[in-house]
Amino acid sequence: MGWIEELERRAHPRVRRQLPCRVLVAGQWRSGILRDLSAGGVRVETDGGLPPGVPVVVALDSPQGGSLVLEGSAHRSRQAPHSLTRLVTGEAALRLDDPPASYVRWLEDESRGAA
């Protein structure tokens, strides 16, 4: 069964990638992995997860070279049970605030190439 485009509610195309990043939360840097990227948000995996609503800064090496800084807030979060936090990362959906134009252009190029 194919995907029905009329049911797609996303405002921005998604790019499925795994990009290493650094995540700044409450003044502390953590390592993380970005997945499922768009101009409106990303999914990030990091130790301990992220509480909903917390402001987040994500720094990553740009796929075109250089570096990118994305700012936003945790929207939805799934945290590992306390007993597993040393073995399993948490993940959160982040809403992005005004992502850099270079990031948006890269996403557009990637989504056209994946189509």
Domains of the chain, residue spans: 10-114
Give domain 10-114's CATH number out of 2.40.10.220, 3.30.2140.20, 3.90.230.10, 3.10.100.10: 2.40.10.220
Q: How far apart are CA 24 and CA 33, in angstroms?
A: 13
pLDDT tens over the chain, length 115 residues: 454 444 445 566 688 889 999 999 889 999 999 988 999 999 998 887 788 888 999 999 877 778 889 999 987 655 444 444 443 457 888 999 899 998 898 888 888 775 4
pLDDT (0 to 100) of residue 11: 61
pLDDT (0 to 100) of residue 90: 74
pLDDT (0 to 100) of residue 55: 92
Total-model pTM:
0.74
